[in-house]
Amino acid sequence: MRRPTRLITTAAVAVAAALALSACSGGGSSDDASGTSKGGTLNILTTSTAVHLDPATSQNLNITTLGLVLRRLTAWDVEPGKVAKVVPDLATNTGDSSDGGKTWTYHLKDGLKFQDGTPITTKDIKWGIERSFAPTLTGGLSYHKSLLVGGDSYKGPFDGKTLDSIETPDDKTIVFKLNAAYGDWPWLVSMPAFAPVPDGKGTNTGEYDAKPVASGPYQVQSNTQGSQITLVRNKYWSAKTDSVRTAGPSKVVFKESQDPSTVTQTLIADNGDAKDSFGATYLGAAELNQVRSNPSAQDRLATSKAGPIQYMAINTQKGKLADKQVRQALQYAVDKKSYRIAAGGALAGTYASTLITPGIEGRKDYDLYKTSASGDVDKAKSMLEAAGAEDLKLTLLTQNDSSSLAESQALQAGLKRAGITVTLKPEDSDSFYTDATNGNDYDLVLFSWQPDFPSANANIQPLYDSSQIGGGGYNVSHYKNAEVDSLIEQATGTINRSDAEKLWAQADEKIMEDAPVVPLIYAKQSFLAGSNVENFRIADFPAYPNYLKVSLKQ
């Protein structure tokens, strides 16, 4: 689960912190993929001061930083104009299910090796997953921990204990035993924790975080935290076994702790190394304005169609907000047009009406509260009057950065038109997420969400399942509906993709009938690259460049 931030992390919560990879000069493996320019040093400029390379602690999106160094059982096939698909990576297929979806079996491809030439076996994958349970390794994506039998009490392998629900009958076969049927298991095994770690290695967690053992096309040559990470080619990676990585650059260098404005100015100027660079942080309104004024730079901008959903969550357990009619009135009272202007205008996003984000298979486009982008104040007032809630006084929890404050003020002004008084409660990022996911001292909260994997499951379950209220969960609307919980459970356990998608779409619309949130925009995210950077494209999902395909002109 992730909350979007200005960085590309794998994350979740937080979205993506980007790495810059540097690969050693001189060619790659003898079976490099064709159709992509080979060679050169690609620089990735990131504002991040700490990039975690340990798969047990990473929230990295499958197609970004960590995917250059580490492979997993499955991967993402993402292309502009197409919905995302799960495809085999280390495994021969996306998984064989049995026992009604509670058991999943995978077989490894032939010829897989670590950076030192030793074969990758299923024992290495089992060990890597077991490491993610260790109390000393926290912060990584953890969907699998509650799904694997015995995972709720397992504390990792460092004391010699194993997780029996992961079986490795031979070096090429791995079997997962789940507590319940889970149709999205093929997506989950694309997460960082499912990267192989040499059996018994990585006990020095700090050291492994800096230099994990590579299974992908690049390995870490050097890592100075907060300054630079250099990736060089892993000569034992074979393009014959890898359909998602093209390994174009000879080197990838992550330059960390960069100032966003300086990065934008450097890339706009497009001189020297900047020609071979791109920014890992998506551009804010100020940076976009700089790019707009430079036609050459504008041609080098990659902008997503739609990305993280930004929404105003309504605390369904607070006062008059417990009345569905009041929450529905807020759908008409909000001024989405002013909100989008505050967020940066048309380039900031497209108007949202559903909970499942575009680019995810099975999404249905609908609008239960169809009106102009500015809302329908008269209808909102009428509904509030009918509900006996004409004089609503509400508190809006928001972050205290300039962008969030401007967006919150737009919401505040829009609601005021309908006679609703809103007091802003700005907090720093850490306090904001703590109070939103653990507390109840707010009526409204400005929130955003980037699914961790391309399934409606990752849009719906973390945000609207009643089990995710409090305790750090992301159901910040405190939304409870037994029918929706049942739909989520049914969809989660449905193995047939088409059948599951219908259930997720049904849940989406049922939730919006209850109006626990006001969808605002699907945020567009724009990234800038130098003139020598090729294949710098953003698929329909996720709203980030696919690092695994980027190359340099030769």
Task: List, for residues 47-91, the tens digit of each pLDDT value.
Answer: 988 888 999 999 899 999 999 999 999 999 999 988 899 999 999
Task: Determine the Cα–Cα distance for residues 43 and 65; give it in Å rounded to an integer.
Answer: 12
Domain presence at residue 263: no
Task: Determine the Cα–Cα distance for residues 17 and 72; give it in Å rounded to an integer.
Answer: 19
Domain presence at residue 496: yes
Residue 95 sits in the same domain as residue 127: yes
Give the predicted TM-score (pTM) of the model. 0.88
Residue 75 sits in the same domain as residue 215: yes
Q: What is the pLDDT of residue 327?
A: 98
Give the residue carrying structure tokens 């790495």.
19
Task: Determine the Cα–Cα distance for residues 214 and 55; give it in Å rounded to an integer.
Answer: 11
Residue 470 sits in the same domain as residue 540: no
Domain harbouring 200, CATH code? 3.40.190.10
Residue 341 sits in the same domain as residue 476: yes
C-beta separation of 422 from 400 below 8 A: no
Domain presence at residue 218: yes
Residue 508 sits in the same domain as residue 541: no
Residue 517 sits in the same domain as residue 532: no
Q: What is the pLDDT of residue 5?
A: 39
Q: What is the pLDDT of residue 221?
A: 98
Residue 387 sits in the same domain as residue 451: yes
Domain presence at residue 267: no
Residue 472 sits in the same domain as residue 536: no
Domain presence at residue 373: yes
Domain harbouring 430, CATH code? 3.10.105.10
CB atoms within 10 A of CB 241: 17
- Burial-class residue 185 by CB neighbours within 10 Å (0-12, 13-18, 19+): buried
Q: What is the pLDDT of residue 35?
A: 57
Residue 461 sits in the same domain as residue 540: no
Residue 495 sits in the same domain as residue 419: yes
Within 68-156, strands assigned E span 74-77, 85-88, 96-98, 103-107
- Burial-class residue 379 by CB neighbours within 10 Å (0-12, 13-18, 19+): middle
Number of helical H runs and strand E runs in the chain:
16, 21
Domain presence at residue 324: yes
Residue 546 sits in the same domain as residue 406: no
Q: How do 41-45 and 251-255 pair as beta strands?
A: parallel
Residues of the chain falling short of pLDDT 70: 1-35
C-beta separation of 312 from 411 below 8 A: yes
Q: What is the pLDDT of residue 230?
A: 98
Tell me the residue range of the domain where 446 lies. Answer: 309-523
Residue 220 sits in the same domain as residue 349: no
What is the number of domains present in the chain?
2
Domain presence at residue 304: no
Domain presence at residue 272: no
At 466, the amino acid letter reads S
Task: Determine the Cα–Cα distance for residues 253 and 277; give it in Å rounded to an integer.
Answer: 9
Closest among 172, 169, 130, 136 to 151, alpha carbons compared: 130
